[in-house]
Amino acid sequence: MFIANQNFSRLPESYLFSEVARRIREFKGANPESEVIRMDIGDVSLPLPECVVEAMRRAAAEMGESATFHGYGPEQGYDFLREAVARTDYNDRGIPTISPDDIFISDGAKSDLANLGDIFGTDVRPAVVTPAYPVYIDSNVLAGRGGMPENGLWSGISFLTAGPESGFLPSLPADGVRADVIYLCYPNNPTGTVLPAEELRKWVEYALAHKSLIIYDSAYEAYITTPGIPHSIYEVPGAEKCAIEVRSFSKTAGFTGVRCGYTVVPRSLDFTFADGTKADLNRMWCRRQCTKFNGVGYVVQRAAESLYSPEGRKAISRNVAYYMKNAALLRSTLLGLGAEVVGGVDAPYVWFRPQSDLDSWQLFERLLHRGAISSTPGVGFGKVGDGWLRLTGFNTDALTAEACSRLSGISDIF
């Protein structure tokens, strides 16, 4: 008899961004004349850089000739891209510990963040800094590690709160709180806050001392503007023994619809199986990928490689500057309206709370109905986010300016 995965019945009915999209569709259905400005999901508005389009054209032409056609590629990614990543994103930035063999090319950060659970032992307890990107929790719940939902939390997951009381800095797990796998995301989605080097060092020291694995989601590292803030966890010595880092080309180069990113699983990671024998996580992840994944397409990997050319670097800087200008405008508008605001300085997300008793979904509806602006409700990132909203700097500059003027027009919400 087939039995369906009961864990699905414990999750909320739909994924956060699907629910947001559903409500927007419903609003548009009822108000067809209204032009909704999308500031909810972090989807980009600038087109692919010219060097990417050119690389795709060239690679597509190669695929059309028998002499240069590529069938199945290596599951871990082509060497040309793994080498470019290791050299440019790590070695040239003063991190000699990462080599091409540690890099696994992915179809984006989201899938790997969810799939990494395949290499966890059955009894590990995840710890999530909250508010958090919902994939960390949902994927653990689906894999049976969530336990039972309890008042907006999960009995099988340790929640490490990073709310306004602590300036959005997470505290290390208290004594007695198990944190076998720790999810950290910096610059943070959703709050847009960052972790200073001395704070990140504490997490690495904690992980080394407790034999915990850190999953470090640094999908937004390119948006860091404050000097001295770590872009990679491997800037902290010892992290190569306890951390996996996940990155994406989505937000820097417009790859949300192209799908490409990478995951760093260092060969130097130092973990064991339950029987005490050494577990080589790099080989395990490779084994996992070979079984369940056929790799990212050749055309897409050539496109990603082009981002490491001088033109590619320039295009990324231009994109980041463009979106950060939007984020700065959103931030100053919201501050001017009297909201409590963080983010928007080292990240494209602005996280804010109007002075109001409304919960996140009520605020979401107000912004949508009164301003035709879609946002992401903070509670969708965890209970601690209730009463907050997230806006993104990823729309066009014209629509961001229009959204700011609409926000000013509904200032009574604030």
Q: What residue ranges bind ligand MLT (CB under 6 A)?
A: 41-42, 110, 133, 189
Nearer to ligand MLT, 11 or 41 (CB): 41
Nearer to ligand MLT, 78 or 168 (CB): 168
Adjacency order of strands within the sheet including 213-217: 103-106, 261-264, 243-248, 213-217, 181-185, 126-130, 158-161
Distances (CA, A) of 241 to 45, 65, 269, 290: 38, 44, 4, 23
Coil, helix or strand for 304?
helix
Coil, helix or strand for 21?
helix
Q: How far apart (Å, rounded) are the C-alpha atoms in residues 322 and 314?
A: 12
Give the nearest residue (CB) to ligand MLT.
42
Nearer to ligand MLT, 114 or 172 (CB): 114
Shortest separation between residue 349's beta carbon and ligand MLT, angstroms:
8
Nearer to ligand MLT, 178 or 383 (CB): 383
Q: How far apart (Å, rounded) are the C-alpha atoms in residues 75 and 105?
A: 8
Coil, helix or strand for 350?
strand
Q: How far apart (Å, rounded) are the C-alpha atoms in residues 29 and 32?
A: 6
Instruction: Give the number of other CB atoms < 10 A from CB of residue 32.
Output: 6
Whose structure tokens read 């590619």?
312
Task: Give me the helices (H) in 293-309, please.
Answer: 298-306
Shortest separation between residue 304's beta carbon and ligand MLT, angstroms:
16
Shortest separation between residue 331's beta carbon and ligand MLT, angstroms:
17
Nearer to ligand MLT, 42 or 377 (CB): 42
Coil, helix or strand for 184?
strand
Nearer to ligand MLT, 41 or 358 (CB): 41
Shortest separation between residue 125's beta carbon and ligand MLT, angstroms:
25
And the tokens for 33? 């004349």
Task: Give me the helices (H) in 211-280, please.
Answer: 250-253
Nearer to ligand MLT, 47 or 257 (CB): 257
Nearer to ligand MLT, 41 or 169 (CB): 41
Shortest separation between residue 108's beta carbon and ligand MLT, angstroms:
8
For the chain, report the end-to-end CA distance as a whole number of angstroms.
55
Nearer to ligand MLT, 41 or 56 (CB): 41
The set of residues, in sequence order, having a beta carbon less than 8 Å from that of 323 and lying 6+ positions away, is: 44, 46, 223, 251, 348, 393, 394
Shortest separation between residue 334's beta carbon and ligand MLT, angstroms:
18
Q: Would you say 219 and 255 are in contact if contact means Cβ atoms under 8 Å apart?
A: no
Shortest separation between residue 206's beta carbon and ligand MLT, angstroms:
26
Nearer to ligand MLT, 137 or 204 (CB): 137
Shortest separation between residue 167's beta carbon and ligand MLT, angstroms:
22
And the tokens for 142? 């689906």
Shortest separation between residue 192's beta carbon and ligand MLT, angstroms:
11
Q: Would you say 129 and 170 are in contact if contact means Cβ atoms under 8 Å apart?
A: yes
Tell me which amino acid residue 291 is.
T
Strand partners, 197: none
Shortest separation between residue 360's beta carbon and ligand MLT, angstroms:
15
